[in-house]
Amino acid sequence: MNTAEIEDPSDWALAKNQAFGGDLRINEIDAEAEDRIYRALRHFWHPVIYSEELTDAPRQVWLCGEQLVAVRLDGEVHVFNDMCAHRGTALSLGKIVVTDDCETLQCPYHGWRYASTGHCVLAPQRPDLAGRLRARIKRYNAIDRYGMVWVCLEDEPHFPLPEFPQFDDPSYDWVAVPSTSWDHTFAVRRTENYTDPAHLAFVHDGYLGDSSQPEIPAYEVHKTADNILQMRLAEPCLEPATAGKNKSIKTDKEFLSVMKTWDVFMPLTVLLRVFDDEGNDYALFFHPTPTSARTLRNFTIGARNFGETATIFDEIAVWNKIVYEQDEPIVSSQRPESLPEDLSMEMFLANVDTFSLHYRKWLLALADELVPK
């Protein structure tokens, strides 16, 4: 690995990711690692749609290249493979109808109906077969939690759902940041970006950092649970008081002194907390869902124990959408597109990139465990 502290006696060090010549092609190097990390993601929970977006009609959603249909039947969320067993039609084009006092999902093509178990309960062309049909559609683990519908593509999720205690605490308000799709980014690059304290001064200059103060405060990285990698500042940092998200914090100072912690629920969920010694507490619960190997959808719930409910959408949801728009072109440009498995492909600064180093190592350990070579 190229580390900051080791001096290379030969000349300037060139990170391996720059060696494009000869037989070493950037995109070949990461292909295998990317594939394994990507396939490992099937073993975890991912949000696919906000709960409030799933009402009285089925909705098409994507996860790890799978086309799924999310639907609420008798109040419970269910997620199926988005394909009728009869003629392969997308069930997300269908509708919810009542069959024998239960809500069922009806295919738009020939009207076949599916119960919440995925079993076909009626083929209208042969009603005599009802109850004896063996047709069924594949059903996935699904849970409605923290204002989002979560899905795991494997029967046994490797880790439990992440924890977001502020969501259930009555002293906090919460708001969903409108979800956006990024079309050129592997989801783990996005989580690395979300937990990167060093880019705030540049990409979010005047928003979350200040380009004249690029040094980052000391921080610690710990594994705090079987599934949590935590980064915690060892000392407070400064955040512009004028930032939209800080509008409801009354102060006459230019900068607020805040503490920050990031809990990464492996492999992708981030709970970022920002709090001061006045008791103001702000939490961002974030997950970049891999809709495919190269695309993601951003899901975020913002919660805070200060300010008015009436202003939370403007101050938290709209604000974070702006911040995300600042990140997107930068993260989309990164090569290789996925995180390289070979850590010597990029440069790591001691005390700056420590978190990213630990994050990648853990990610690779999960890939080794879940998708053996």
Cα distance between residue 196 and residue 242, in whole Å = 22
Nearest approach in angstroms of CB 359 to other proteins is: 13
Cα distance between residue 329 and residue 200, in whole Å = 15
Nearer to other proteins, 2 or 67 (CB): 2
Is residue 289 a contact partner of residue 296, using CB atoms and an 8 Å limit?
yes
Q: How far is CA 277 from CA 39, 43, 64, 165, 241, in A?
A: 43, 39, 41, 20, 15
Nearer to other proteins, 141 or 334 (CB): 334
Nearest approach in angstroms of CB 99 to other proteins is: 53
Cα distance between residue 20 and residue 108, in whole Å = 51
Nearest approach in angstroms of CB 264 to other proteins is: 17
Structure tokens belonging to residue 68: 């799924």
Contacts 24+ apart (CB under 8 A), 88-95: 90/60, 91/58, 91/137, 92/58, 92/59, 92/60, 93/58, 94/58, 95/57, 95/58
Torsion over CA: 185, 190, 192, 193 (sign)? positive
Nearest approach in angstroms of CB 240 to other proteins is: 17
Sheet of 59-63, strands arranged across: 46-50, 148-152, 139-145, 76-81, 66-73, 59-63
Nearest approach in angstroms of CB 212 to other proteins is: 10
∠ Cα 327 63 68 (to 5°): 135
What residues contact 216, with CB distance under 8 A and at least 6 apart? Answer: 197, 198, 237, 352
Nearest approach in angstroms of CB 28 to other proteins is: 12
Cα distance between residue 113 and residue 115, in whole Å = 7
Nearer to other proteins, 81 or 326 (CB): 326
Nearer to other proteins, 199 or 247 (CB): 199
Q: Which residues bind other proteins (CB under 8 A)?
A: 2, 4-5, 7-8, 11-15, 17-18, 20-22, 196, 198-199, 201-203, 211, 214-216, 329-330, 333-336, 346-347, 349-353
Nearest approach in angstroms of CB 233 to other proteins is: 14
